[in-house]
A and B are shown apart, each in its own frame.
Chain A
């Protein structure tokens, strides 16, 4: 069915709930932080599309500045949406396995500058064969596992072998190395700089090892939102894969220069002596393994139960909430929440300015 779209120009209190809203001023302020940080650096932001899944928003960051005019995606199908949205430089940050997906990637490479990460020879050989068959060229970056304990090579030696193989294969262009990182919990600036540098340095060790074998490493794609200001200070890093900073979420509140721009508008649909019920539940908010969002400006409210389409919140102190009252929910995890919605409602000064389709929603393949 057609997703709900409020009228452009409507006041915020006319928006039906639950709805996913973007405060455009706050999002643009987040984008300006990036533009300023990267204004005089050779390292640039390669914004991650997996967080917002909407080419229009990625274009907005490009207009404001700080980017290298390309984006990351997590999946081939997301990349297809971005190419359809006019973006022509894409790094797919997951290994692409299986002939069908590799074929889709190879065809995309006829329309855009496509890059993909690799961490093993089987995958690389298969990519080369398919790209040859289709007549395109795919850029590859070796993924280095620097902290996630997930995909990616574990040693520089593996990186050298893969780089050599990539150099030897037809329809493959070896471009460099990349990595993902994360920090757990609340990270102050000192922690971010120490941990961020430590992880990125692991990636640079692989770069140096490969270069020693006479292979050029043109791209080092590393760093995330938490290290957006760390990476450009490290020589050799050419781009940063940040995504969360656009809208932000609860767990990254420690990045005070960025504001929470994406929130869910909800309505109180029932009130008891000590609790309220709101019309937003797990389906639209998500709550991985029991994690819960918060309510903006309401420290006296906390989630006690989340059901399919509603949630129950307990009120500390006197319950002065009323049925029909609206509240803003601050998400606990942004990108899995965005993936559940079909559009963003962009609001400025309390007025609906734009409705964007989240066109890569559900792009799992």
Chain B
């Protein structure tokens, strides 16, 4: 009788401990996930079905926003095209390729100079967005006071360059790429460092030159970091617009109006909160679709590892 009751109390103590551990280990992630990822989407869906404007008052529930979105908004197509171009160029040229190039070259340098160059490429990320945008405004100034024109006109004797008016897409890709490259650089650098030194020695003895070593040894080891950076930066570029807003404000005309910026302007500059909410649902849908697609394509399931500490 007593032994039976002590057995029950032991098992109930174990159950309590299991519950406490679950709260302890799963709790923070669950709370954050709900507060910052699920709740905003729920609120967004709710607002999208109202007529909420600047007054924040809801007078009726309606599907008018979606009707407008599907039939009566000629901006969606062009802004989507701009977004696609912008994400593809920034990702392809800077965040992945240039980040990789920086990691490969700085890890081949002696440790100190490598760290120095990496630190330089981190600087844009450390400066406040507004300061960074202001620097760009000075660099691209269309008069001969702009830095580019000081060089182009003053030193090289060329015609004055006006990036903002003539090459706005190039401008926002450059401005975002200079910041974005450092993330890939850091991730790739640590991945390259993690490659056992003996593999490089073996490859050299086996006859591989420097480029062959990169191709056969380094790049295969960077498969997962490359996948991760591609997915992560795609999603991040899809929704971020602050530098574009600050540097070109989507212009000239709608040439650099990425979709996220368009949503922002509709919602907050025109005061159409409900319509903005409906538009942003498109971004949510694209983000989820892109993640699932890349998860599949890049076989990222294999990245999942068994836990290092097993909690019961």
- Asked if A pairs with B, the answer is no
Chain A residues in contact with chain B, CB under 8 A?
none
Interface residues of B (CB under 8 A from A): none
